[in-house]
A and B are shown apart, each in its own frame.
Chain A
Amino acid sequence: MTDAGVGEREGAGVPVAKDAAGGPRWRLCGSDGGARGVGEVHHIGLVAALVLLAVVGLVTEPDNFATSGNIVGILALAATIGVITVGQTFVIIGGGIDLSVGAVMALASVWATTVATQSYGPGVMALCAVLVGTGAGVLSGLLISYGRLVPFIATLAMLVAARGLAQRMSDRRTQLVRPENDAIEKLSTTKVLGLPLVVYIFAAVAVAGWVLLNRTTFGRRTFAVGGNPEAARLAGIDVRRHTLLLYALSGFCCGIAAIIIMARTTTGSSTHGDLYELDAIAAVIIGGTLLTGGRGTVAGSILGVLVFTLITNLFILNGLQTSDQLIAKGVIIVIAVLLQRRGLRSPT
């Protein structure tokens, strides 16, 4: 071995010591998601965006924006898409994508409001919505994990088929929740501490999602499956079964979202949730989750949903056109992803 070789290899070892000295700096990243520091940085940006949007609201519509009615409206609006986004976050961190979320939610709402289902009462309606959603997710998951279909294609097929089945079941008519089943509607009208119950459902799903992702082996393995499937396999994780469970979870969330939309609109319809898949994916992305999998946070996705909902709200309050609103959302997605790329590059 030459002297030069030794010198160079010793040089390669130095960073270990340096990094150790730099430990305290790293600890600033916080305790929870500390391991996933990029997301943390991202959250600050999203919170700043929320504050900025709120200031815009206060300035442009001082009389209407800060009313309790408007705030509750924003949260209720965010609840449906928010619940779906939690499931989508898991799928994307696990290296997949679920395009079928909006259609599956519509199918669940239609199935739960058929005459037959409604005759069993509100409890069975809710159970039906959750089972239909989960069942659709399991089917997509089977096609992807054991049928080896690309997630994009399998869930695209599910999107089209679920929408079609919903139309056939409902005859393309909007199905009303019958008056004797008004317990469903009460989820939206009953308020606890000024907030409707659907907002608590949203909060419960978000918290449960956070716990599942950050405090359980399931969450841990989701990062592994999405970040490095081969390493996950070598570590003894059943990658296929895990992938199946991720889509089942997404479908489950769609079922919960169907209950919320039934509560808010008192209807089941094949037109519910149109293009929700795009909103959900966009919220996940601007929340700092990598579309390639392996990194991401539930909190970021929730913040992403809130940013989008707030924009919608501001545009409506100011009487601006939906087209402008869509342009604004598009710009935000691009800016968020550009920032995300910078954030990823800097630590290395």
Chain B
Amino acid sequence: MGPSEPSPLLRMRGIVKRFPGVRALDGVDLDVQAGEVHCLLGQNGAGKSTLIKVLAGAHQPDAGEIAIGGEPVRFAGPTAAMRAGVATIYQELDLVDGLSVAENIFLGHEKATLGFTRRGDAERAARELLGRLGHGEIPPRREAGRLPAAGKQVVSMARALSHDARIIVMDEPSAALAHDEVANLFRIIRELTAAGVAVVYISHRLEEIREIGDRVTVLKDGRTVAVGLPASTPTDDIVALMTGRDVEYVFPERPEAGDGPEVLRVEGLALPGAFEDVSFSVRAGEIVGLAGLVGSGRSEILETVYGARRPARGRVLVDGRPVRPGDTGAAVRHGMGMAPEERKSQALLMNETVAGNVTVAGMRRYAAFGWLNRRRELADVRRQIAALDIRPPDPRRPVATLSGGNQQKVVLARWLLDDADLRVLILDEPTRGVDVGARAELYAVIRELAGRGIAVLLVSSEVPEVLGLADRVLVVREGRVVHSGDARALDEGAVLNMIMEGSAL
């Protein structure tokens, strides 16, 4: 089927969706024909998830048109979308753990008479749907929370099928599946498309897209950059579409590779289900970046190094001394500091002032017999504000009124109060929610901190950020470090290829 087809089953035009401070979708077009598998591609944050939530009626678009079968539609809520024949399999959030498999499948459209559920009917229908999916062995009465991830995925599929949908949206359905399960998924998808159902398929695995997809639409920064390309388009072309950027990143100069002493050493670290056998080291003054997809295990690696999770095997050493595993207090005593991904919920006290946020972890320094020496506290905070150029330079200002970039600096300032103590700085998505303009400044601060002899370990979803800022890059895929090397020897396309499908290209 080609784009010349007169009337597509689904047609989305100029979809715009704004969230406070962000344009998540900025004019997206999508055409999907009946009976095709249409793949949606884009990097993290390109707007794929927002787009499918608009299609599912979970978000209302601020502008744009949706037509199904030539009829313009407006979805007031998820029920309206389901009635119009759109069923969505979300990556997560989909199932209620406390309900049974059958109850989950028919949640919201229960088989019932006058409000009384017909449980026998529901269980029979559930068994049939599961059987059609090749998983008749999943008991319809089993509590969904007790199923393994692959089982939950099958239940989500069964739920989509139970709606008799004309369009089924699948958000990374293969992420939780084993190899032979993926083959089974493809068999089901082929059955569906043969019956005239349109499938919108989202995946990061390009090999899968080439196997199952008919056409491809590429999103980047909330816009459509290619509509309805044939799935056979060469990988390099697709990657180029996904990576071409409007934004210029300004990175600080990299100093000549120093041979500072090794500060952080990670040996054979493993957390089953998240990552296996991770070993690396970071020298004083060096910035090491982890690149990988969400769910690749990169954030779990950071959290385990910092002691927020307890590894099954392996150890972490700072300056040659082993750190007690699974104990963030021990990590801090050894000189580790962490700026977590969710700044607002995991790091900042949003009701507090800048000063209160900077000194919260080091309050003992200003206390005598339980009384705080406010003057000394403010003096120290002022020094940090000046050093990191936090604006506005007012320690008494509520931290909630600062911009994202300045909030991130407040988090960094917390660990720098006693900079003789800080040996390792761990940064998870340091520029998330930070304006593009303010990023360059934050990069400079991070590089400056490394210059003081601190070992910096960072994770970012933005590949150019890792490549531009880090000295060395570790590429993580499916819980394993698949590449480790000098950042200067890599480019964005090469890293994207590695994090998406490895050497199979």
- Please give the residue numbers on chain A whose beta carbons come within 8 Å of chain B beta carbons, in ascending order: 1-2, 4-6, 8-17, 19-20, 23, 26-27, 34-37, 215-218, 220-221, 223-224, 226-228, 230-237, 294-295, 347-348
Contacts and interface: CB of A to CB of B under 8 A. Distances in A.
Nearest to A219: B117
20 contacts: A1-B207, A8-B276, A9-B178, A10-B179, A13-B179, A15-B148, A16-B148, A19-B138, A23-B139, A36-B98, A36-B143, A216-B116, A227-B97, A228-B95, A228-B97, A233-B58, A234-B56, A234-B58, A236-B78, A294-B97
Contact of B135 (A8, A16, A228, A294): A16
A224 B141 CA distance: 16
A215 B113 CA distance: 11
B149 interface: yes
Contact of A294 (B96, B109, B110, B147): B96
Nearest to B479: A8
Contact of A26 (B77, B108, B139): B139
Nearest to B110: A217
A338 to B, nearest CB: 20
A94 to B, nearest CB: 11
Q: Is the interface of A mostly helix, strand, loop or mixed?
A: helix
B79 interface: yes
B175 to A, nearest CB: 10
Contacts of B164: none
A129 B484 CA distance: 73
Interface stretch (B193-201, B224-232, B245-253, B497-505): B497-505
B146 A13 contact: no
Interface string B123-150: 0000000000001011101110111111
A2 B502 contact: yes
Contacts of B115: 216-218
Nearest to B503: A2
B103 interface: yes
A232 B98 CA distance: 12
Contacts of B88: 234
B90 interface: yes
B110 A234 contact: no
B77 A231 contact: no
B85 interface: no
Given A228-B97, A234-B88, A217 B112 contact: yes
Given A16-B150, A26-B139, A227-B97, A236 B117 contact: no
Contacts of A232: 96, 107-108
* Interface hub of A17, A19, A220, A348 (most chain B Cβ within 10 A): A220
A231 B150 contact: no
Given A19-B148, A217-B110, A236-B79, A230 B98 contact: no
* Interface hub of A15, A217, A237 (most chain B Cβ within 10 A): A217
B177 interface: yes
Given A23-B139, A34-B141, A227 B96 contact: yes
Given A223-B98, A234-B94, A35 B78 contact: no
Contact of B93 (A12, A215, A234): A234
A13 B181 contact: yes
B478 interface: yes
B67 interface: no
Interface in B465-503: 477-480, 482, 501-503
Given A16-B151, A35-B98, A224-B96, 4 more contacts: A13-B177, A15-B148, A220-B107, A347-B146
* Interface hub of A15, A218, A236 (most chain B Cβ within 10 A): A236
A92 B103 CA distance: 20
A234 B78 contact: yes
Contacts of A236: 77-79, 82, 108-109
A318 B478 CA distance: 65
Given A23-B139, A218-B115, A234-B90, A13 B180 contact: yes
A196 to B, nearest CB: 31
The 8 residue pairs across chains A and B that have the minimum distance between CB atoms: A13-B178, A235-B108, A20-B137, A236-B79, A35-B100, A236-B108, A15-B148, A294-B98
A347 B277 CA distance: 28
Nearest to B142: A26
Interface string B405-445: 00000000000000000000000000000000000000000
B97 A10 contact: no
A4 B478 CA distance: 10
Contacts of B504: 1
B332 interface: no
A220 B105 CA distance: 12
Contacts of B79: 236
B93 A228 contact: yes
B117 A217 contact: yes
Given A215-B116, A227-B98, A1 B501 contact: yes
Contact of A221 (B90, B107, B141, B501): B107
Given A1-B207, A8-B478, A347-B146, A216 B58 contact: no
Contacts of A23: 137, 139, 142
A16 B180 CA distance: 12
Contacts of B145: 348
B141 A231 contact: no
A216 B117 contact: yes
Nearest to A37: B143
A121 to B, nearest CB: 33
B150 A224 contact: no
B275 to A, nearest CB: 11
A12 B150 contact: yes
B207 A12 contact: no
B117 A220 contact: yes
B137 A215 contact: no
B266 interface: no
Contacts of A221: 107-108
B99 interface: yes
Given A227-B96, A232-B96, A236-B77, A5 B103 contact: no
Contacts of B93: 228, 230-231, 234
Contacts of A19: 138, 142, 146-148, 151
B481 to A, nearest CB: 12
Contacts of A2: 482, 502-503
A141 to B, nearest CB: 19
A226 B107 CA distance: 13
A36 B142 CA distance: 9
A237 B107 contact: yes
Contacts of B95: 228, 231
A295 B98 contact: yes
Contact of B150 (A1, A13, A217): A13
Given A10-B179, A347-B146, A223 B137 contact: no
Nearest to B78: A236
Contacts of A234: 56, 58, 78, 88, 90, 93-94
Contacts of B78: 233-236
A183 B242 CA distance: 78
B342 to A, nearest CB: 17
A216 B112 contact: yes
Interface in B34-88: 56, 58, 77-79, 82, 88
Given A224-B96, A233-B58, A236-B82, A12 B502 contact: no
